[in-house]
Amino acid sequence: MEKSSKIYVAGHRGMVGSAIVRCLKSKGYTNLVYATSATLDLRDTAAVNNFFSQEKPEYVFDAAAKVGGIYANNTYPADFLYDNLMIQNNVIHAAFTHKVKKLLFLGSSCIYPKLAEQPIREESLLSGYLEPTNEAYAIAKIAGIKLCQAYHKQHGSRFISAMPTNMYGYGDNYHPQNSHVLPALMRRFHEAKVAGSPEVAIWGSGKPLREFMFSDDLAEACVFLMERYENPELINVGTGEEVSILELARLVAEVVGYQGKITFDASKPDGTPRKLMDSSKLHALGFKHKTGLREGLVKTYEDFLAKVDVYSTVKV
C-alpha cells in the first residue's frame, strides 16, 4: 500500500475497526474512507455496490461484523448467522467486482473445533465439532474464509484472512449480558466497587483458559499482514499467552480496585475448556504483540471510565 492509497475500513466504529484506523493514521496513510451503519447498511447488497462504485477503494480491511459474547451468540443465532453472512458476502463480492487490489478479512478464533488440539493451528479448521454456544457466528466466519479462498482460486484475487484471538481494548462493548468475558467482568467489578457489593459472581467454574490480545496490537498485525502476507490460507493472530478465567477475574478486579469476594455461577456455561492460538506463522513473519495483559487492562479501564455514563444506560 502507498501512503496515498484509498483504503476502506469496514466496521470503522467497532473496537477492531477503530484500532485499524488509528494504526493506519499513525503510519501516515492519509486516504481513508468509511461509512457508518446509519449511512451504509452492509447487509444491503445494492447499497454496498453503490458505495464501492462511488468510492473505488484500492484496499479493504473487513472488520465489520455482528459480535457478542456467549449469551448473545446463544440467544440470537439467526441474527448472528444471517447478518454476518450478508455483511461479509457483500463486502467481499463488491471488492472483487470493483477490482480492489487487496482485501483482509477478519475472522475469529471461534471458527475452530471446540476440542481442537492445543495450541490451535490453522490446519485445525473443520477438523471437528464447533462450540454450540457460538456455532452460528463461527459458521458465518468460516464461510467468509472459504469465500476469500474461492475468489483467490477462481480469479486470483488477493484476499487474505486473519483469525484473531479474544480481543479487548478501546471502545469495547460493556453490555452486562451481550458482551465478551473481559469487558463484562470489567463492568461487573466496576459496578460492584461503586455499589460496595461484598461479592461478584463470574460465569461458570473459572477454569477455562483463554488468550487475550489488545485491539491496537491486532490492528498493527492487520496492517503488517496487508503489507506483507499474500497466502490465501488463513493465519492466526494471537499472543501465545493464556490465562484462566479466574486469574483474569482477579486481575480485572485488581485493576478496577474491587476488593470483595469472587464467587462462581455454576448455572452458566463455561464454553470451550481451552482456546490458545498457535501464532507461530505470524511470529515467523516477524510480528509480535507489544502490550501485556495488565497494561492493556489499565488502558481499557481508563477508556471505560471515560464512557461509563454511556455504558450505564446501554440497551440490548
Which residues are known catalytic residues?
137
Exposure class string for 270-297: b at 16+ Cβ within 10 A, else e: ebbebbbbbbebbeeeebebebebeebb
SS3 helix, strand, coil % of the chain, rounded to 5?
45, 15, 40
Alpha helices (runs of H) in the chain, residue ranges in sequence order: 15-26, 45-55, 70-75, 77-97, 135-155, 181-195, 215-228, 245-256, 280-284, 293-306, 308-312
Annotation-wise, does 98 bind a ligand?
no
**Secondary structure class of 209 (helix, strand, coil):** strand
Of residues 241, 283, 280, 227, the one with CA closest to residue 20: 227
Annotation-wise, does 16 bind a ligand?
yes
Annotation-wise, does 107 bind a ligand?
yes
Annotation-wise, does 22 bind a ligand?
no
206 and 273 in contact (C-beta within 8 Å)? Answer: no
Annotation-wise, does 109 bind a ligand?
yes
In degrees, rounded to 5, the angle at the alpha carbon of residue 267 between the alpha carbons of residues 262 and 271 is 85
Contacts of residue 82, Cβ cutoff 8 Å, sequence gap at least 6: none
Annotation-wise, does 215 bind a ligand?
no
Annotation-wise, does 128 bind a ligand?
no
274 strand-pairing partners: 209
| Distance in angstroms (rounded) separating the CA atoms of residues 312 and 316 | 12
Annotation-wise, does 3 bind a ligand?
no
Annotation-wise, does 163 bind a ligand?
no
Annotation-wise, does 203 bind a ligand?
yes
Annotation-wise, does 13 bind a ligand?
yes
Annotation-wise, does 257 bind a ligand?
no
210 strand-pairing partners: 243, 275
Annotation-wise, does 43 bind a ligand?
no
Annotation-wise, does 14 bind a ligand?
yes
Annotation-wise, does 15 bind a ligand?
yes
- Measured over the CA atoms of residue 234, residue 240, residue 241 and residue 244, the dihedral's sign is positive
The label of the residue with cell 491496537 reads 216
Q: Residues forming the annotated binding site for NADP(+)?
A: 11-17, 106-109, 141, 180
Q: Residues forming the annotated binding site for substrate?
A: 188, 203, 210, 270
Q: Residues forming the annotated binding site?
A: 11-17, 106-109, 141, 180, 188, 203, 210, 270
